[in-house]
Amino acid sequence: MEKVLKQLYQEIDKIEEEIIEIRRDLHRHPELSFEEERTPKFIANYLEKLGIEVRRNVGGRGVVGTLKGGMPGKTIALRADFDALPIQDKKDVPYKSTVPGVMHACGHDGHTAALLATAKVLTKYRRNIPGNIVFIHQFAEEKPPGGSRYMIEDGCLEHVDAIFGCHLMSTLPFGNVYYREGYLQAAADVFTIRIKGKGGHGALPHQTVDPIIIGSQIALNVQSITSRKLNPLEELVVSIGSFHAGETFNVIPEFAELKGTVRSFKPDVRDMAETNIKKIARLVAEANDASAEVTYERGYDSLWNHTAETNIVQKAFRNVHGVEEVLETEPIMPGEDFSYYTQQVPGSFFFVGAQMENSSAVFPHHHEKFDFNERAMAIVAKGFCSIIFTYDQQRDVVDHIS
């Protein structure tokens, strides 16, 4: 195994410039969730040229490639997402987005390039590959209901024994890899509270039912869900991100609207938050002679990493050239629809540090100047290769734990 992995690492180093150029091409031509056309064609064509069996239009716009190895073994899936965001690219770089108002502001172009590189080097060493490798290129990760569930319904996980995926992290040090067993990312829900009061003149508030005052009370009261309804050892975030009412300074409006998000890990905590938001909105409104309509939309489920597969990630990256440290991370609150894959088959999702060397160029995900250290893509590709062989070596342990 060590000899083959060393050769695979060398092959990845040889094509690093190609990996970067693929990423930059995708970065110049971003496509929004559920609108991807050029990107899946590019991916499918690339895989077919490698001699990999390809399924197009999986679940809608997804691409699945299957490489049959020359050695006996299990079937391992590797996943990358490829959609972009509705953000104007304001970086001053040659590979800046050419699509107005759309950019890869989360690293999905890098995930795609890294997985294509993985496919390329593994194909060259097909005879040494244990089992089968399934390359899942997923559309629409950024926009619920997301692409993963559609791809799963269309069979992308058929005969798959385990799945692995990663996220490049622009704010984490380059060379570090981060894993976590159990909950890694939160369920991400959205709610809207529409309050109907009674409008009138701002100088005569006693003749009105002020939805702004009522909305303010609701916004303050929902904060008590976390502080007073939840065990302080549990995790929950309830945030109001939008509050709109009225058009001018001297008129009390009839309507006010609040929008917010709930982030949680455990299903019972999620249920409790939804129930209490609806209850608070209804009772506060009624106490003020108004009414409140609540729309609560459940986004992605929380992401759970399985024990055996997470142990594989740890062990695999300790053997990857270029990795400085392999560290356990805390759970984070952003959502990720990789969660639906690990509900179906055992798997693990991990983070790869991709911080820019120049500190002035470090920006968070979903920022108009987002970028990442492109050398991190080679680490991802090497890690995927190492996971495949580490998994094969640990098959008996995995079967026992899973």
Which 8-state DSSP code applies to residue 98? Answer: S
pLDDT value of position 82: 98
Residue type, 364: P
What is the distance between the alpha carbons of residues 56 and 67, in angstroms, rounded to a whole number?
15
CA dihedral 57, 58, 62, 65 (to 10 degrees): -100
Q: What's the whole-number average pLDDT of the chain?
A: 96
Active-site hit among 36, 81, 83, 336: 83
Domains of the chain: 2-184+302-401 (3.40.630.10), 187-297 (3.30.70.360)
Torsion of CA 48, 52, 56, 62, to 10 degrees: -110
User: Is 397's pLDDT higher than 80?
Assistant: no
pLDDT tens-digit readout, 143-160? 999 999 999 999 999 999
Q: Tell me what pLDDT residue 2 has.
A: 82
Q: What b-and-e string marks burial along 1-11, b requiring 16 or more CB atoms within 10 Å of the CB?
A: eeeebeebbeb
Q: Looking at the predicted structure, is the pLDDT value of residue 236 above 60?
A: yes
Indicate if 254 belongs to the active site. no
Q: Residues with Cβ < 8 Å from 204, sequence gap 6 or more?
A: none
Give the Cα separation of 50 and 53 in Å (integer).
9
Q: Calculate the CA 168 to chain-centre distance.
A: 10
Residue 287 has pLDDT above 80, yes or no: yes
**Helices (H), ranges, 2-107:** 2-14, 16-28, 38-49
Contact 381, 114 (CB under 8 A): yes
Pick left, alpha or beta for residue 46 (phi over 0 → left; psi -120 to 50 → alpha; otherwise beta). alpha
Beta-carbon contacts of residue 125 (< 8 Å; ≥ 6 apart): 4, 7, 8, 11
pLDDT per residue over 55-91, tens digit each? 999 999 999 999 999 999 999 999 999 999 999 999 9
When mean pLDDT is compared across 2-11, 40-49, 168-177, the lowest value belongs to 2-11
In the predicted model, is pLDDT for residue 398 greater than 80?
no
Give the pLDDT score at 319.
85
Question: What was the pLDDT predicted at 79?
Answer: 98
Is the pLDDT reported for residue 396 higher than 80? Answer: no
Q: How far is CA 8 from CA 5, 115, 119, 381, in A?
A: 5, 14, 11, 9
Fill in the amino acid letter for 287: A
Active site residue 83: yes
Residue 147 phi/psi, 5° resolution? -90, -20
Do residues 187 and 270 make contact, with C-beta atoms less than 8 angstroms apart?
Answer: yes
Mean pLDDT check: name the lowest of 224-228, 328-332, 395-399.
395-399
What pLDDT is recorded for position 392?
87
Residues contacting residue 373 through CB under 8 Å, at least 6 positions apart: 174, 354, 355, 356, 357
What SS3 class is residue 136? strand
Asked if residue 244 has pLDDT above 90, the reply is yes
For position 401, what pLDDT does the model report?
57
Q: What is the pLDDT of residue 17?
A: 97
- Whether the per-residue pLDDT at 357 is higher than 60: the answer is yes
The pLDDT of residue 98: 98
Closest by CA to 156, choosing from 347, 302, 25, 22, is 347
